[in-house]
């Protein structure tokens, strides 16, 4: 059905005896000259990032590194670790949880920002375009991804720092500005602050760096992956095997005890 050798196609890595080329560059050159964040950029985007972006690329991946057991992925990973599996299996189960409601907002917010940017371009005036678009979006989707946080309702230190480093690294700032305008529009529409959260801030920075919105979840995986891994390790080393949920956390709300109807019995 397929020609020889065309079953898998990849432009990421070439391998031969004693040689490994990642996006065309020798892996030892990357190890010698690039940071982890720059390597992340290269392996995803195919080209080297701007030299000035080194700090923001690492900061982007450090920003989401952990938030303790407040996030379900870490709780899940720790439960899985207690089942007596390999460290990587516990991590994988945590990573599996990073869906629509958990880090997935990066993806959604990036898409939102990219489309909104086009709208602003068409409309001309930032403020008006943003407000109109947010209104329309809220009507259709109910909420804008990347805004609002239960705990950090005010000044999430990660958001502030990420924006500061982004500016220091010479990013243009177009998407940062858009993000702040959306925040303003939301406050006006809702009548209360719905702050840019860490997902939204990571999304705005990722847009500045030119990442495809479909890479959004990978950014979070390699960021929160740090915390998920460290928590899994902590559970394996300090936790007890087969960690169960204590009785007092569970409320059974199902049917009371009942017998099988007589005609269901003895007929299997």
Site for its own copies in 69-88 (CB under 8 A): 69-73, 75-80, 82-88
Residue entry with tokens 């329309």: 136
- For position 196 contacting its own copies by CB under 8 A, the verdict is no
- CA gap 196, 117 in Å, rounded: 17
Residue among 102 and 126 whose Cβ is closer to its own copies: 102
- CA gap 199, 110 in Å, rounded: 10
Query: Min. distance of Cβ 182 from its own copies in angstroms?
Result: 20
CB atoms within 10 A of CB 234: 13
Question: By rule CB under 8 A, what string of x and - marks binding of each residue 150-169 to its own copies?
Answer: xxxxxxxxx-xxx--x----
Number of residues that bind its own copies (CB under 8 A): 146
Query: Min. distance of Cβ 190 from its own copies in angstroms?
Result: 19
- For position 6 contacting its own copies by CB under 8 A, the verdict is yes
Residue among 25 and 119 whose Cβ is closer to its own copies: 25
Query: Min. distance of Cβ 223 from its own copies in angstroms?
Result: 9
| Interface positions, 210-229, toward its own copies (CB under 8 A) | 212, 214-215, 217-218, 220-222, 225-227, 229
Contact between residue 153 and residue 167 where contact means Cβ atoms under 8 Å apart: no
Question: By rule CB under 8 A, what string of x and - marks binding of each residue 30-69 to its own copies?
Answer: xxxxxxxx-xx--xx-x-x--x---x--xx-xxx-xxxxx
CB burial of 29-48 (b: ≥16 within 10 Å; e: otherwise) equals ebeeebbebbbbbbeeeeeb
Distance of CA 79 to the CA centre of its chain: 21
Query: Min. distance of Cβ 175 from its own copies in angstroms?
Result: 18
- CA gap 160, 105 in Å, rounded: 18
- For position 257 contacting its own copies by CB under 8 A, the verdict is yes
> What is the side-by-side order of every strand in the sheet holding 25-26?
13-16, 19-22, 25-26
- For position 194 contacting its own copies by CB under 8 A, the verdict is no
First to last CA, the chain: 48
| Interface positions, 87-146, toward its own copies (CB under 8 A) | 87-93, 95-104
């Amino acid at each position: 059905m397929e020609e020889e050798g065309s079953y898998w196609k990849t432009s990421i890595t070439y391998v031969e005896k004693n040689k490994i080329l990642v996006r065309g560059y020798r892996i030892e050159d990357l190890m010698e000259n690039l940071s982890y964040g720059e390597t992340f950029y290269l392996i995803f985007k195919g080209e080297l990032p701007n030299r000035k972006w080194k700090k923001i690329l690492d900061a982007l991946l450090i920003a989401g590194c952990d938030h303790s057991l407040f996030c379900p992925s870490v709780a899940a990973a720790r439960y899985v670790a207690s089942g007596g599996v390999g460290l990587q299996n516990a991590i994988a189960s945590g990573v599996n949880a990073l869906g629509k409601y958990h880090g997935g907002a990066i993806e959604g917010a990036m898409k939102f920002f990219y489309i909104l940017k086009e709208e602003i371009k068409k409309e001309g005036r930032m403020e008006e375009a943003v407000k109109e678009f947010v209104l329309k979006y809220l009507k259709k989707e109910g909420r804008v991804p990347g805004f609002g946080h239960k705990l950090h309702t005010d000044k999430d230190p990660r958001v502030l720092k990420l924006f500061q480093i982004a500016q220091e690294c010479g990013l243009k700032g177009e998407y940062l500005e858009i993000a702040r305008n959306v925040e303003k529009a939301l406050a006006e529409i809702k009548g209360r602050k719905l702050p840019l959260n860490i997902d939204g801030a990571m999304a705005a920075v990722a847009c500045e760096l030119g990442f495809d919105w479909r890479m959004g979840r990978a950014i979070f995986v390699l960021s929160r992956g740090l915390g998920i891994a460290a928590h899994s390790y902590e559970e394996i080393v300090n936790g007890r095997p087969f960690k169960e949920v204590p009785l007092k956390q569970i409320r059974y709300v199902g049917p009371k005890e009942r017998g099988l109807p007589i005609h269901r019995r003895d007929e299997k």
